[in-house]
């Protein structure tokens, strides 16, 4: 049986292990922490076929510059003289074109739709998992005419691409949320989106994989590799060496660093975000994005999670209290009936979204090494896109015809 070693036990690594073990591979997952310290547990848990436009898009540069001027805004780049940061920003700038967006849409859309259908299969096959998968869609709530204009345009583009989007008036959206006293101008409802509890999903996958014989090795930091010609033979960690026939790098925001250990160039920075929980009282029923503030809202029964902020950084988890305050202050501006309690600093979660400069993930093989694949760079959509990524990587290793064309996701595109 072919031995596959996966670096990274976040959601991408675990879903890759899930499809590989189903295909008969012997799988080991190595993680530098306890597998939960990456980005995959405290996020908003949204499954978003509606997010088919890459982050690198024409409107983002202007918005980003404006947001940089406010301490509580949802976007920030820590200015510093760092070669990798400068290079990443230049590549982002070059990708923020209509041509790039038009080319990327079918790739992202197909990946998302495959992932959503795999989640529905997964929930049917594992009712015991209790991942809380619900198909209530996603509300893009807005307060201003300018945002309404943008969102209505987005809804039209979405419908033209076969992703259903309904434009709702103030009274229609208030009827969907009868308890929370919504103070908004209106909303776009992406009815095909869904959500789940990411911590339960990650916990179930760990238990399921262990029961299927997958080795999950925590506190094993990958330090370097041993090779024979163009084949990686061993992964060297602080817990010793692990032999491998195939290697899959799913190291999230750290993947650029792991790529450098392999002599590869994979531009990657972190998009740090924060989240905290509140009592869901009065009840918020439908997942939403508070569009002007870029705050994600996900109800999990008696609790609701608020999350947001994209701080472009390296791999630093520190928490910026002002930006957490920005998320907190946004809540009652939209949900007038909701009186949030200031989150205690220790209850705030921070996660590092693995961000490529063109807003597309890296999925697939690399020319330099015969037996190395990447599954990373999913930015704000790692939960959403994890099953499809895992399935495609397993298809690559089985040398099966791929379910989708994925050349736009090549890890070699910046080589
Ligand atoms: C506030 C917030 C809200 C979000 N909401 C959503 C959402 O609603 N929907 C959605 O789809 N996505 C969302 N995301 C994004 C999503 O969380 C990420 O895209 C996803 O978790 C990335 O998963 P990953 O497996 O690639 O990385 P991670 O979960 O970070 O896992 C990478 C793992 O690799 C390990 N690792 C790294 N380097 C090494 C090494 N050298 N040796 C060994 N192990 C190593 C790390 O320890 C880590 O466990 C959100 C993110 C944030 C911050």
Structure tokens at 220: 């094993």
CA distances to 89, 127, 319, 388 from 227, rounded to whole Å, are 33, 42, 39, 29
pLDDT confidence of residue 370: 98
CA dist., res. 70 & res. 34, Å (int): 35
pLDDT tens track for 28-45: 999 999 999 999 999 999
Conformational region of residue 240, where left means phi above 0, alpha means psi within -120 to 50, and beta covers everything else: left
Burial class (CB in 10 A: 0-12, 13-18, 19+), 155: buried
What's the gap between Cα 79 and its chain centre?
Answer: 24
pLDDT confidence of residue 211: 98
The H or E element that residue 353 is part of is strand 349-355
DSSP 187-244: EEEETT-EE--HHHHHHHHHHHHHHTT-EEE-S--EEEEEEETTEEEEEEETTEEEE-
Does 229 lie in the same domain as 323? no
Assign 79 to helix, strand or coil: coil
Whether the predicted model's global pTM rises above the 0.85 cut? yes
Does 93 lie in the same domain as 216? no
Does 154 lie in the same domain as 8? no
Does 163 lie in the same domain as 15? no
Sheet of 231-237: strand order equals 222-228, 231-237, 240-243
In this structure, is residue 256 part of a structural domain?
Answer: yes
CA distances to 62, 116, 120, 201, 230 from 46, rounded to whole Å, are 26, 11, 14, 12, 39
CA distances to 82, 84, 136, 267 from 190, rounded to whole Å, are 39, 36, 9, 32
CB 247 within 8 A of CB 375: no
CA dist., res. 19 & res. 35, Å (int): 18
Q: Name the β-bridge partners of 183.
A: none
C-alpha angle 280-121-40 in degrees, rounded to nearest 5:
50
Is the CB of 45 inside a 6 Å radius of any atom of ligand 1?
Answer: yes
What is the residue with the minimal CA distance to atom 18 of ligand 1? Answer: 382
Ligand 1 center to 352 CA (angstroms): 6
CA dist., res. 258 & res. 114, Å (int): 28
What is the residue with the minimal CA distance to atom 48 of ligand 1? Answer: 38
In this predicted structure, the answer to whether residue 65 has a pLDDT above a threshold of 90 is: no
Does 64 lie in the same domain as 27? no
CA dist., res. 358 & res. 74, Å (int): 19
Instruction: Look over the chain and give the mean of its residue pLDDT values, rounded to a whole number.
Output: 96
pLDDT confidence of residue 80: 82
In this predicted structure, the answer to whether residue 195 has a pLDDT above a threshold of 90 is: yes
65-88 burial, b at 16+ Cβ within 10 Å, e below that, comes to eebeeeebbbbbbeeeeeeebeeb
CA dist., res. 256 & res. 29, Å (int): 18
pLDDT band at 63 (very low <50, low <70, confident <90, very high): confident
Is the CB of 255 inside a 6 Å radius of any atom of ligand 1?
Answer: no
Structure tokens at 400: 């099966």
Does 204 lie in the same domain as 187? no
Structural domain for 258, as ranges: 3-41+200-265+358-409
In this structure, is residue 188 part of a structural domain?
Answer: yes
- Classify strands 138-142 and 186-190 as parallel, antiparallel or unpaired: antiparallel
SS3 percent helix, strand, coil of the chain, rounded to 5, is 40, 25, 35
Does 304 lie in the same domain as 166? yes
Domain count, the chain: 2
pLDDT confidence of residue 79: 78
pLDDT tens track for 233-266: 999 999 999 999 999 999 999 999 999 999 999 9
Does 371 lie in the same domain as 338? no
CB 27 within 8 A of CB 6: yes
pLDDT confidence of residue 284: 97
Of the candidates 187, 197, 357, which has an alpha carbon nearest to the alpha carbon of residue 271? 357
pLDDT tens track for 330-380: 999 999 999 999 999 999 999 999 999 999 999 999 999 999 999 999 999
Ligand 1 center to 182 CA (angstroms): 32
User: Is omega for the bond preceding 282 within 30 degrees of 0, making it cis?
Assistant: yes
Does 314 lie in the same domain as 345? yes
What's the gap between Cα 28 and its chain centre?
Answer: 23
pLDDT tens track for 300-317: 999 999 999 999 988 889
Q: Average of pLDDT values for 1-23?
A: 96
In this predicted structure, the answer to whether residue 75 has a pLDDT above a threshold of 90 is: no
Does 174 lie in the same domain as 28? no
In this predicted structure, the answer to whether residue 66 has a pLDDT above a threshold of 90 is: no
pLDDT confidence of residue 364: 98
| Residue whose entry in the numeric block shows the structure tokens 């390296």 | 314
In this structure, is residue 169 part of a structural domain?
Answer: yes
pLDDT confidence of residue 22: 96
pLDDT confidence of residue 235: 98
Report the sign of the C-alpha dihedral through residues 260, 266, 267, 271, in that order.
negative
Does 91 lie in the same domain as 158? yes
| Residue 70 belongs to domain with CATH number | 3.30.9.10
Ligand 1 center to 36 CA (angstroms): 9
In this predicted structure, the answer to whether residue 389 has a pLDDT above a threshold of 80 is: yes
Is the CB of 353 inside a 6 Å radius of any atom of ligand 1?
Answer: yes
Structure tokens at 166: 């309904």
Ligand 1 center to 317 CA (angstroms): 12
Ligand 1 center to 196 CA (angstroms): 16
Question: Which atom of ligand 1 has the smallest separation from the CA of 35?
Answer: 49
């Amino acid at each position: 049986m072919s031995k596959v070693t996966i670096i990274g036990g976040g959601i991408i690594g675990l879903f890759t292990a899930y499809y590989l073990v189903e295909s008969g591979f012997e799988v080991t997952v190595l993680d530098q922490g306890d597998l939960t310290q990456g980005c995959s547990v405290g996020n908003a848990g949204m499954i978003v076929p509606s997010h088919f436009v890459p982050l690198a898009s024409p409107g983002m540069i202007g918005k980003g510059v404006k947001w940089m001027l406010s301490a509580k805004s949802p976007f920030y780049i820590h200015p510093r003289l760092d070669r990798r940061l400068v290079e990443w920003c230049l590549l982002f700038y070059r990708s923020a074109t209509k041509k790039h967006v038009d080319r990327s849409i079918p790739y992202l859309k197909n990946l998302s739709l495959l992932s959503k259908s795999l989640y529905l299969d997964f929930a049917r096959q594992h009712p015991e998992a209790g991942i809380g998968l619900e198909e209530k869609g996603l509300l893009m709530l807005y307060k201003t005419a300018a945002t309404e204009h943008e969102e209505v345009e987005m809804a039209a583009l979405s419908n033209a691409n076969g992703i259903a989007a309904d434009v709702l008036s103030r009274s229609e959206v208030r009827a969907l949320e009868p308890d929370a006293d919504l103070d908004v101008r209106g909303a776009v409802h992406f009815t095909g989106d869904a959500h789940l509890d990411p911590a339960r999903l990650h916990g179930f996958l760990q238990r399921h994989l262990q029961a299927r014989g997958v080795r999950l090795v925590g506190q094993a930091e990958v330090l370097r590799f041993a090779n024979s010609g163009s084949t990686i033979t061993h992964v060297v960690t602080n817990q010793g060496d692990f032999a491998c026939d195939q290697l899959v790098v799913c190291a999230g925001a750290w993947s650029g660093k792991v790529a450098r250990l392999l002599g590869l160039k994979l531009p990657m920075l972190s998009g740090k975000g924060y989240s905290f929980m509140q009592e869901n009282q009065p009840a918020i029923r439908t997942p939403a994005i508070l569009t002007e503030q870029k705050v994600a809202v996900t109800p999990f029964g008696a609790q609701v999670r608020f999350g947001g902020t994209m701080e472009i950084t390296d791999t630093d988890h520190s928490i910026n209290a002002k930006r957490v305050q920005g998320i907190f202050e946004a809540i009652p501006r939209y949900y007038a009936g909701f009186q949030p309690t200031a989150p205690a600093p220790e209850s705030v979660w921070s996660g590092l979204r693995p961000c490529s400069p063109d807003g597309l993930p890296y999925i697939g093989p690399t020319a330099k090494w015969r037996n190395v694949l990447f599954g990373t760079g999913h930015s704000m959509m790692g939960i959403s896109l994890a099953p499809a990524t895992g399935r495609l990587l397993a298809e690559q290793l089985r040398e099966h015809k791929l379910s989708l064309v994925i050349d736009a996701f090549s890890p070699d595109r910046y080589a």
